[in-house]
Amino acid sequence: MDEKIYSVTEFNKMVKGYIEENSNFHEFFLKGELSGVTYYKSGHLYFTLKDSKSQIKCAAFNYAFKRIPDNLKEGDSVKIFGDIGFYETRGDFQVLVRHVQKEDKLGEMFAKLEKLKKDLEKQGMFSPLFKKQLPKYPKAIGVVTAYTGAAFHDIVNTTRKRFENVDIYIYSAKVQGIGAKEEIVKGIKTLNKIPEIDLIVAGRGGGSIEDLWAFNEEEVAKAFFQSEKPIISAVGHEIDNLLSDLVADVRAATPTQAIEIAIPVKKDIEKKLFEKEKQLKDSMSRIIKDKKYELQQLKNNYLLKNFIKTIDDKNQTLIIKEVKLQELIEKNMKNKKHQLEIRTEKIIALNPLGILKRGYSITISDEKIVRNSSEIKVGDKIETVLEKGKIISKVEEIN
């Protein structure tokens, strides 16, 4: 097999010829995301069109005459129409753009966002039941934002003004564009592992909705929800309402407001402590004054001054009462004894044996005392009980 050896010029000319003869490289459409958009005063426009894996250089010469928009920017989703242009001298190629059409990527994004909101709401991720309380006096806070952004400086400055003793842990993360959602998620997870941190603030300053969109991503929303430490969503301006706002424990309109919510003003705390201290001192002074007055009153009390005499008087009163009590007891005992004697005499008088002693007898028939002659009949056996002994007899006549 013979070797084919070309010069660079020959090879590039062959490539150009191949491209020009191949219809696939002419009048085609491409879609992707813009990057490195640059408008020149010469009337030319240069940019890179990319997707998740590849990119290609593009040029639109005299773009104004081709009615190409003059407000294209980083991240715009577009569809372009053009041809491949190959430059032999440099050995590179680019798309020669004839037309650029912005795609309604934002509309699609919002449609997906609404569906995602419904899914997360069903999972209870917006429920107040899962909202954690912010610590009243945090000693250290964690911040997820771009180190070079205005939000970072606002957070640091506001913290130092309110309570300079609070420590700030910064996780510098990309907050817009490709890779932003991954860095935000990693930042939240990293700060959750630092024991000293009491709460986390994650966010960025204002911008277009496309700039803020990383905080509408599902992965970011779940990272907010799953944060073990209380977390504040501080994204954009007050009019912005993002997914991170709904799942966070607290929503702040701006990064500055997040710090105003999370960190108290040290001077206010010192003032309240001073007032409390003064109240306690005043209260103690009043109590001591009242107790001194009570003590003085006790000292002037007649009973205390004459305590010994009062005790003697009480003892004497008790002795007198004791003698009178003894007299009452003896008198009561005599009365009780007399009443007992009277009752005893009555009982003796009523005793059947006493009656028998006086010469009387008792007649009994069938174990019953006979009180009337009609209670017995001729022939009955009767028993006559005397003081001493008894007589058994038979009735022969009844009158």
Under CATH, what is the fold of the domain 108-126+137-264?
Rossmann fold (3.40.50)
Task: Express each pLDDT in 265-321 by its tens digit.
Answer: 999 888 988 889 889 988 998 998 888 888 888 777 766 666 667 777 777 777 777
* Lowest-confidence region among 58-62, 122-126, 255-259, 291-295: 291-295
Q: For residue 98, give every residue at least 6 positions away whose Cβ sits within 8 Å of its Cβ, in sequence order, or none.
A: 60, 66, 81, 82, 83
Q: What average pLDDT is seen over the chain?
A: 87
Mean pLDDT of 144-148: 93
Mean pLDDT of 366-387: 82
More confident residue, 303 or 253: 253
Q: Which CATH number fits domain 8-103: 3.30.70.1280, 3.40.50.300, 2.40.50.140, 3.20.20.30?
A: 2.40.50.140
Contact 221, 120 (CB under 8 A): yes
More confident residue, 53 or 61: 61
Q: Provide the sign of the torsion angle of the four alpha carbons 325, 329, 331, 332, taken in this order.
A: positive
Note the pLDDT of residue 107. 67
Take residue 308 and report the two structure tokens written for it. 């010994």
Maximum Cα interatomic distance, the chain, rounded to a whole number of Å? 184
* Lowest-confidence region among 174-178, 234-238, 261-265, 372-376: 234-238
In this model, does residue 322 exceed pLDDT 60? yes
* Lowest-confidence region among 99-103, 281-285, 329-333: 329-333
Mean pLDDT of 343-354: 68
Other CB atoms within 10 A of residue 131 CB:
13
* Lowest-confidence region among 50-59, 233-242, 268-277, 351-360: 351-360
Note the pLDDT of residue 363. 83
Q: Is 49 exposed, middle or buried (0-12, 13-18, 19+ CB in 10 A)?
A: buried
On the question of a common fold for 8-103 and 108-126+137-264, the answer reads: no
Other CB atoms within 10 A of residue 146 CB:
18
Number of residues that make up the chain: 399
Note the pLDDT of residue 375. 80
Other CB atoms within 10 A of residue 140 CB:
15
* DSSP per-residue string spanning 60-129: ETTGGGGT--S---TT-EEEEEEEEEEETTTTEEEEEEEEEEE--HHHHHHHHHHHHHHHHHHTTTT-GG
In this model, does residue 259 exceed pLDDT 60? yes
Domain ranges of the chain: 8-103, 108-126+137-264, 305-346, 354-394
Task: Express each pLDDT in 169-216 by its tens digit.
Answer: 999 999 998 899 999 999 999 999 999 999 999 999 888 777 889 999
CA angle 74, 76, 79 (to 5 degrees): 130
Buried residues in 297-322 as b, exposed as e (16+ CB within 10 A): eeeeeeeeeeeeeeeeeeeeeeeeee
Note the pLDDT of residue 8. 92
Note the pLDDT of residue 304. 63
The H-or-E segment that residue 49 falls in is strand 45-50
- 258 conformational bin, left if phi > 0, alpha if psi -120 to 50, beta if neither: alpha
29: amino acid identity, one letter: F
Please state, for a pLDDT cut of 90, what percent of the chain lies above it: 47
